[in-house]
Structure 1
Amino acid sequence: GVVGLRMSGGSIDAVVAMLAIWRAGAAYLPLDPAYPEERLRTMAAVASLVVSDGLVIEDGPARRPAGEPETAAGGTAHDGQDGQAQEPGGETAYVLHTSGSTGAPKGVVVEHAGLAERVRWMRAVYGLRPGDRVVQLAALGFDTHAEEIFPALAAGATVELLPGGGSALPELLARRPDVTVLDLPTAYFHHLVSMIDDVAWPGHLRLVILGGEQVRAGAVARWRERFGDRVRLVNTYGPTETTIIATAAELRGGDPRPPIGRPVRATTVKVLDAYGSPVPPGAPGELHVGGPGVARGYLGGPDPRFLSGPVGRVFRTGDRVRLRRDGQLEFLGRLDDQVKVRGFRIEPGEVEQCLLGHPDVREATVLARDGDLVAYVVPATKGSSPAVPATNGFLPAAHDRTAYDPTTHDPTTHDPTAHDPAAYVARRLPPYLVPTRWVVLDALPLTRNGKVDRRALPPPGPAVGGDVQPRTDAEELVADVWAEVLGAGGIGAFDDFFALGGHSLLAIRVAARLRALAGVDLPIRTLFDRRTVAELAVAVEEALAAEVAVLSDEQARSLLDREGS
């Protein structure tokens, strides 16, 4: 059977619940409380029980009345040698949902055998031991959480829980010099490296694991300049369907395009053309992954991406790669429209289908641009605009936006308006699937074949702030920092950081700039709690006042003398 796990992660209760569910012979299904209720109901359809915070247990949607025969929805196991096993049985470890191109999330059924193989490999190759302290950063709805928790527990290491997710990591690193292992989304790593001298890196740090998207060579070079060979940097690759990772590479620098490496133990990889034939080394092709780590399939029906191989299941990743001369794989992109935004795997079709359900939207297309998810919408009535200004590419007001942290998906939600497409999407999809930039068009550009010409879509304009100018020195400081970090102009006193396209990765940069310019250390979470320029300026003033309050008279006079000179 399946037990829903309605917890945000970062808690002892969540780890206890996962292990207890396994002990009872069931599989766990993460249900992020930050997700819209409609989404959670769809995801939880196969759950017989649901465990929530405080280890409260309730009946799930699939709970059968006493005496009723068991049905597939209740958790009947199928064979599944070629992806045909759509319902989890006793050998299932967990079910994770990924974005689906048809508009509905897809539940990936991952087995204990595949997870156990990955845990054995990670424990050995990462060199995990009882003295290690591994940070648990990822949300439970993403399989990186399994890489952070289970190998560490199996090795007798310590798992450092982080309830605040990525927004709380810089503060944790500053107070825990004994952290030894970090597992970071590549986009998050890029942001940390961009301010590498402002981060209090733990003195005992020995290993950083990356994954989620292509690593930038410049970031690796800067990391090596800072740490040399003291801290290992491991780049990993693997869709959820291959149980966390399928390949790995040690990044030592000097490579113009860092590779995704070689297959991990008990994993096979092949680079094939559109007809299923191997391509020559160096030629691009689709990556096929085999081995015990390949999931059983998706909930609800067979899928052609799961194939039967001579030694078990094979998964067609849809990723375009090439085999280099040194035997390592190089990632080249996708063969379909799937994109990665800040490390999140997104099917634009799912967002487009949701948008098309809005009564004021006639056409819509979604793509990734410069780290943002951009929605292009055509109003249902010519000349109208569905609450999205075409001039600046952003939503008009703060009250109808959802702020989110891409490592925890813990949003601060506000009452959405019925006519706002962003609010409409936010009520139906997880926060990371809600576009952060918007463009209204009279019509979508088309190719000769009548398909949307994505290359002809105009880039969204820069963010534009509100009408009320900053009124104090602190507000001017905050507005200037936001303008620098967001690439925005005319930021007003009551503008919302997240309505202007901000997210937790950019919040880290804001905090670093405020520290450099004003000498104040604000927790990253402050930007989520105080979202406007005016609110954050008050926090800056409070922090400065607190620092002044503890100064002695002599220190205060010395500070005034320096300011006067």
Structure 2
Amino acid sequence: MNTISPHSYRNSLRIAYRAVCGHLWKGVSVSYPFRDVMEAFSETARLHPDRPAVTRHDRTVTYAELDAWVRATARRLGPDPGVVGVLTSRSAGTVAALLGTLAAGGVYCPIDPAYPWPRREALMAASGCRVVIGEPGSAVPPGVGLTPLPGPAGLLDADGRGEEPGGSAVAGRVAVSPDDPAYILFTSGSTGEPRPVVTPRGAISVVTAGLRELFGITPEDRVLQFASLNWDTCLEEILPALTSGATLVFHDHAYAGSLHRMLRMIDAERVTVLDLPTAFWHELVHHLTAERAALPPSVRLVVVGGEAVSPVRLADWRALGLDGVRLLNTYGCTETTLITHAVDLHGPHAAAGAPDDRVPIGRPLPHVVERISEEGELLVGGPALALGYRDRPEATAERFVELDDLTPGGDGPRRYFRTGDRVSRRPDGALVHEGRLDHQLKVRGVRVDPGEVEAQIASHPRVGAVAVVGVPVAGHTTLAAYVVPRSPAGPASPAMTGSLAREVLDYLREHVPAHLVPHRITVVPELVHTASGKVDRAGSHRRYRSAAV
């Protein structure tokens, strides 16, 4: 049997990504020397071996224990394992799998085990994963290996130390370069298939260092892990904390849907940093105001992002007497690695001024190069761009473009990501969001292309046509679908209409994650079309919204 050395495999992987994703690191400033995120974690573990790294309820994993767990995971994977799918859970084990994959020189790809099997299978295929870390018996596609995560027990010696670097072939870190892929996450695309975004190690390393400074993370901080482990926001919780000596806090009450229990947990766990979707923060502010509840005194920083901040909710927050708590609004895309813009809206670092009728999304972070096109589209460049979409050369070429460098002393074209967001600039330099140039929506902070939902619904055998729109409900966006039956023999009866709506809903729940399932599905006789013959989503919604239930 022919074998390929790990070094040769990684070189071929890097070449393949270059071929698919285009030029890498073109125009990157030399002011950002490459220091891999795993170097920062290892140094932190060496400096703070006995400090708590991860807690979940009454179970604590120290930095020494986590470092040993990471090394054991890397040894089990072997050097340069390629793309590693990880069936995630809110636990220290998922953190060990993430860091262990990176320590082995692999490419991390989180897979939510709660997703329907067709979706999990599609994500594994689109990412090209060769092995999956999961519980024994977990379903994986043919040809993909399944390996359990090493247990956390027994990884330290009698002196409380893990194995020294170099103790085995993969005990330390595999040599890596900035353009090696670090992880793959998925965004929504109009074709109905998830788009795999490939982020390089240089990008996540630069951004992690920047966010440590932006958030002011110290070893005394306790950061709540709140975001879905399948979205990039979780990395801005995990990586800055674990490269600073802080404690990452998992707790079931954060995800139980009760703000009363969540606030009690934050107080009991002495959480200092919250990173919340804007829509959830809106609910929190309403709860604090309506219930006259108090934000626990341990909290010093609240980071929000994903959707526009409501001026009304911002005014409510400012009236709560939380002047000592930083409220930091952030903006970014998966393709530009976590956060590119930020602004303090309230608290000790906020600029004095009149209340905001239109809340800004922020100013560029130091590593970001921004540009606004004639159409008002925000373009983002710099060392934190993704490599592109795996095996999607056309989509990559459409969204990642090279433009002449307009900065003084520029040395040729610079690579930018087209965000699709229209912005304007305030006199103080902060950007204000003016809407989208396309039809993409934010549903609970998750970017959704209506075309992907339409493609999924259209694959149902009884559906002839479909239009999906975003509908504001109670301060956040939900999806509404208008469905035309396939070749009806006559007017659909109420029973037939209700039957098809239920069938489509059940079909979606069996095939896609919850954020792609519309809140309402309405069966209609026909869709509205534009003069050019295209489906008019907004027009269809205006015609039939009174019939939606």
Same fold judged by TM-score > 0.5? yes
The DSSP-based 3-state class of the residue aligned with 1:214 is: coil
1:228–1:372 CA distance, 2 compared to 1 (3 A): same
Matches within 5 A, 1:267-278: 267-273=368-374
In the other structure, the counterpart of 1:236 is: 330
The correspondence of residues 120-519 of structure 1 with structure 2, limited to 5 A, is: 120-163=209-252, 166-167=255-256, 170=259, 171-177=261-267, 178-197=270-289, 198=291, 199-252=293-346, 254-273=355-374, 285-302=376-393, 303=396, 304-309=398-403, 310=412, 312-370=414-472, 371-382=477-488, 383-384=491-492, 389=497, 420-456=503-539, 457=541, 458=543, 460-461=545-546
Which residue of the partner structure matches residue 507 of structure 1? Answer: none
SS in 2 for 1:227: coil
**Aligned partners of 2:444, 2:416: CA distance in 1, in Å?**
27
What is the one-letter code of the residue matched to 1:33? P
The answer to which of 160-169 and 207-216 deviates more is: 160-169
Aligned twin of 1:76: none
Q: Which runs of 5+ in 1 are unaligned?
A: 65-87, 275-284, 397-419, 465-565
Q: Closer, same or farther in 2 for the Cα pair 1:462/1:250, shift >3 Å? A: farther
The Cα of 1:387 is off from its aligned counterpart by 7.1
**Alpha-carbon offset, residue 254 of structure 1:** 0.8
Q: Secondary structure at the match of 1:427?
A: helix
Return the offset for 1:27. 1.3
- Report the TM-score when normalising by structure 1: 0.67
Query: 1:44 maps to which residue?
Result: 124
SS of 2:255's equivalent in the other structure is helix
**Number of positions where the alignment pairs a residue of Structure 1 with one of Structure 2:** 405
Map 1:510-549 to 2 at 5 A.
Answer: none
SS in 2 for 1:155: coil
The residue type equivalent to 1:132 in the other structure is D
Q: 1:247 to 1:444 in 2, by over 3 A?
A: same
**What CA distance in whole angstroms lies between the structure 2 residues aligned with 1:299 and 1:142?**
17
Structure 2 Cα separation of the partners of residues 234 and 341 of structure 1: 20
Displacement of 1:460 in angstroms is 3.8
- 8 A contact 1:236–1:261 mirrored in 2: yes
One-letter amino acid of the counterpart of residue 295, structure 1? A
CA contact (8 A) 2:221 2:271 kept: yes
Give the structure 1 partner of residue 194 of structure 2: 105
Correspondence for 1:5: 86
Which residue identity is paired with 1:166?
A: Y
Alignment CA distance shift 1:389-1:249 (3 Å): farther
Verify: 1:117 aligned to 2:117, yes or no.
no
Which deviations, in whole Å up to 9, do the C-alpha atoms of 1:164-212 show, x marking residues without a partner? 6533573232133211110000111111111114355211111110111
Q: Which amino acid aligns with 1:182?
A: L
Q: Which amino acid aligns with 2:274?
A: L
Q: Which has the higher contact order (CA 8 A, sep 6+)?
A: 2
Offset, 1:140: 1.4
Amino acid at match of 1:192: L
Counterpart code for 1:366: V
RMSD of aligned Cα (Å)? 2.7
- Alpha carbons 2:192, 2:453 under 8 Å: kept: yes
The gaps in structure 2 that reach 5 residues or longer are: 1-81, 147-176, 347-353, 404-411
Which amino acid is the alignment partner of residue 214 of structure 2? V
Q: Distance in 2 between matches of 1:32 and 1:395?
A: 26
Distance 1:352 1:190 in 2: 29
SS in structure 1 opposite 2:275?
strand
**8 Å contact kept, 2:524–2:544:** no
Q: Is the 8 A contact 1:25 1:90 kept in 2?
A: no
Change (3 A) 1:89 1:125: closer
| Gap change, CA 1:130 and 1:460, over 3 Å in 2 | same
Classify 1:225/1:89 alpha carbon distance in 2 versus 1 (closer, same or farther; 3 Å).
closer
For the residue of structure 2 that corresponds to 1:201, the secondary structure is coil
Q: Secondary structure at the match of 2:319?
A: helix
